[in-house]
Chains A and B, each alone.
Chain A
Amino acid sequence: MTISTKTSNYTHPSGAGGLSTEKVIIAEQLTKKFGNFTAVDNISFEVERGEIFGFLGANGAGKTTAMRMLCGLSIPTSGKGTVAGFDIGVQTELVKKNIGYMSQKFSLYDDLKVWENIELFGGIYGMKDKEIKEKTDELMHILNFENERNKLVGSLPLGFKQKLAFSVSIFHNPQVVFLDEPTGGVDPITRRRFWELIYDATSRGITIFVTTHYMDEAEYCDRVSIMVDGRIEALDSPKNLKKQFEAKNMDDVFQQLARKAKRVDS
C-alpha cells in the first residue's frame, strides 16, 4: 500500500526532508496555567521526523491542553516550543500550514459527500483544483472508496469515517499530524487497519503525534510518553518502558504510573 510520494508542496526550513535525526517537534518547559490550576506543568520532549510519538495519560492529565499548545490553538503560559521549525507562540499561522489535525470528535461534515469533504479541506489548505482532483482519485483508489465517493459521509460506518478523516488530515502533506484519540469506539481489527494508514504516512516522512486510551495502540508507537498530573512521568520506547517498570505489557506500565495521580478525573 503506497501513496505517491510527490510531496512537493511543502517546504521546511532545512531544505528537503529525510534527515532522520531532524527534530520536528521540540517542547521546552511548556507550561499552561488556567488561574491557579496548572494543566500542563513544565514538560519537555523532542520528536523526530517520521516518528510515531504516543502521548498517553489519564483523563485530565493535561494531554489535550499540551496538544493544543503544539497546534497553535492555545498560547503557552511559559516555556517554548517549535513545530515543523516554527515557534508555537509567535508563528502560529506558519505552524497551522504545516500540520494536520484529527480530533476525537469525528471531524468531517456528515452532510457533505466524501469528495466534497476532501475538496473543502484541500481548498482550505490552498491546494490547486487540479492537484485536489488527482489526489482524490488516487486516495479513493487506495482506500477502496470508489463506490463511496458520492455518498454522504454521515451514511458511512465509523471505521470508514475515521480512515477518511485521517486521510483528509494528511491530504495537504503536512510535516506533522496530530491525532487526538483517533480510533475511539471501534474494535481492535478496525484499529489495526487504521494503523496501517499511519505506518504508510510515516513512510512518506510525516511525523505522527497521537494520543490514545488503547494500550494496544501504545504498543504500535515508536516512543511513548505518559503524563500524570500535567507532568511527563515516563518517556521511552514501549520495549524499554516495559523493562524499566518490570511490566509484561503497556497497560501494566500505565497502571503503575496512573495510580500516582492526585488529580481527580475531570
Chain B
Amino acid sequence: MKQLMSFIRKEFYHILRDKPTMLILLGIPIIQIILFGFALTTEVKNTQVAVLVPTTDEATQRIIEKINASTYFDVVAKIHNTEEIQPIFRDAKAKLIMVFEDHFAENLRRTGKAHIQLIADATDPNAATSFTFYASNIISSYQQELLGQTTNPFQITPEVKMLYNPQMISAFNFVPGVLGMIMLLICAMMTSIAIVREKEMGTMEILLVSPMKPIYTILSKITPYFVLSCVNFATIMLLSVYVLRVPIAGSFISLVFVSLLYIFVSLALGLLVSTLTNSQQAAMLISGMGLMIPVMLLSGMIFPIENMPIPLQWFSDIIPAKWYISAVKSIMIQGLGITAVVKEVVILSMMALILVTISLSKFKVRLE
C-alpha cells in the first residue's frame, strides 16, 4: 500500500509541475463548451435575405414584415429586377432571395394562386435546408392568416412538436458529444503518454527491476487522470447547466455512473495504446488519429449514424463514445432512467473488460 501511495504521489507531482499541460487539460472543456455553445452553433439566426418585389402591394408587404420580424431573418435588400440577383449572391450580401411574381396580391385574390420563388445559397447545405424550411413556414403562416378570413371548410394543419428539445437548441446534442470527446482525450491520450514517457526516459527499466508490482504501476498512472476526468466532468456539467441552460432531465446518479464506466473504458484504451508503442509521439498520434477522429466523425456527435453506409455503421459500433453519447442523451436530455440504457451499459462494460484483459496481458513485466 505504501508502495502504491508513494507512486501515486509521484504521478501527481508530474502533472502538477507540468503547468502548460495542466492548463490545457483543465481549459479544454471550458473552451470547447464555450465554442460549441456560442460560436459553432448549427441554429440559423439572422440570415440575410433579399427580396425581389416587382409590384409592391399589401400581400408582399405583409410577408416581408413577417420575415423581418422573425429572429431567423434580416431583410437586407430590396431589388426590382432579376439581373440584380446574381450580384447579391456574388457579393455575399444575402443567403436567400425571395422572388415574388408580378402582381402578387392581385393573382392571389383573383385566382387564389400566387408564387414565391426561394433562391438559396446552398454552399452550406445544412444551413440552406434549415432557413428555406423556416421561410416556407413563415409563408404558410401568412396563408393561415388569409384562410382565417375566408371560409374554407377543408383545412389540414400539421402541428409539429419537437420533443425533448422544443427550441431545437444544438447544445442538447453537443454537450453529450463534448463529454465523450474530452473524457477520451484526457484518459486515453494522457495515460498512454504518461506510461510511454517512462519507457522513453529509461525510468521504466528501474521500475521493472524494482519489486514494484506492474499492476501498481498501472493503477498509479491511471489514478491522477481519473481524478482529472472527474474534475472535467464536473466542469462540463456546471457549464452546460448554468451557462448553456441544458437541464439534466434524468437522474444525476445514473449519469455519473455511466460516465465513470466510460472513463474506465477510456483509461483502458490509453493503457492499450501505451503497450503498443515506445515513443510519446507515436502514442499521441495513435490516440489522436486513431481515437479522436473516429469519435468526432463516427460517434453520432456531428453526423447522424443512420445516414452512413452500412459498413461504417458497423464500424461505429466498436466506438465506445457512440454508446456513451447515446446513454448520456437518453439520461440527460430525454430524462430516462438507468433501465433505458442497459444496452449501452452492458456494451461499455464488455469493452472495458476486453480492453483491460488485453492491455494487462500485453503490459511487459520483462524487457526483451
- Is B18 an interface residue, CB under 8 A from the partner? yes
- Is B87 an interface residue, CB under 8 A from the partner? no
Q: Interface on chain B toward A: helix, strand, loop, or mixed SS?
A: helix
B209–A73 CB distance below 8 A: yes
A103–B202 CB distance below 8 A: yes
**How close is A74's CB to chain B, nearest CB, in angstroms?**
6
Per-position binary interface string of chain A over residues 98-134, scored 1 when its CB falls under 8 Å from any chain B CB and 0 otherwise? 0101111111111110001001111111100000000
Chain A positions within 8 Å of B5 at CB level: 123
Chain B positions within 8 Å of A116 at CB level: 10, 13
Chain A positions within 8 Å of B18 at CB level: 111
Contact of B205 among A105, A110, A119 (CB under 8 A): A105
- Is A263 an interface residue, CB under 8 A from the partner? no
A interface residues, tally (CB under 8 Å): 33
With contacts A124-B7, A126-B2 known, is A111 near B209, CB below 8 A?
no
- Is A146 an interface residue, CB under 8 A from the partner? no
Chain A positions within 8 Å of B148 at CB level: none
Give A106 to B200 CA distance when docked, in angstroms. 11
A106–B3 CB distance below 8 A: no
B2, B5, B206: most-surrounded residue (chain A CB, <10 A): B206
Contact of B211 among A73, A104, A107, A124 (CB under 8 A): A124
Give A204 to B13 CA distance when docked, in angstroms. 34
Give A99 to B205 CA distance when docked, in angstroms. 14
B209–A72 CB distance below 8 A: yes
B10–A96 CB distance below 8 A: no
B205–A103 CB distance below 8 A: yes
B7–A123 CB distance below 8 A: yes
With contacts A71-B209, A96-B209, A125-B210 known, is A109 near B368, CB below 8 A?
no
Closest to A128 in B: B2
- Is A213 an interface residue, CB under 8 A from the partner? no
Give A96 to B205 CA distance when docked, in angstroms. 12
Give A99 to B201 CA distance when docked, in angstroms. 21
Closest to A169 in B: B206
Give A124 to B8 CA distance when docked, in angstroms. 11
B367–A123 CB distance below 8 A: no
Residues 57 to 87 of chain A near chain B (Cβ within 8 Å): 68, 71-75
Chain B positions within 8 Å of A75 at CB level: 366
Chain B positions within 8 Å of A73 at CB level: 205, 208-209, 366-367
A-B contact pairs, 13 of them (CB 8 A): A73-B366, A73-B367, A96-B210, A103-B206, A105-B201, A111-B13, A120-B6, A120-B7, A121-B210, A124-B207, A124-B211, A126-B3, A126-B211
Interface residue ranges, B against A (CB under 8 Å): 2-3, 5-7, 9-10, 13-14, 17-18, 201-203, 205-212, 366-368
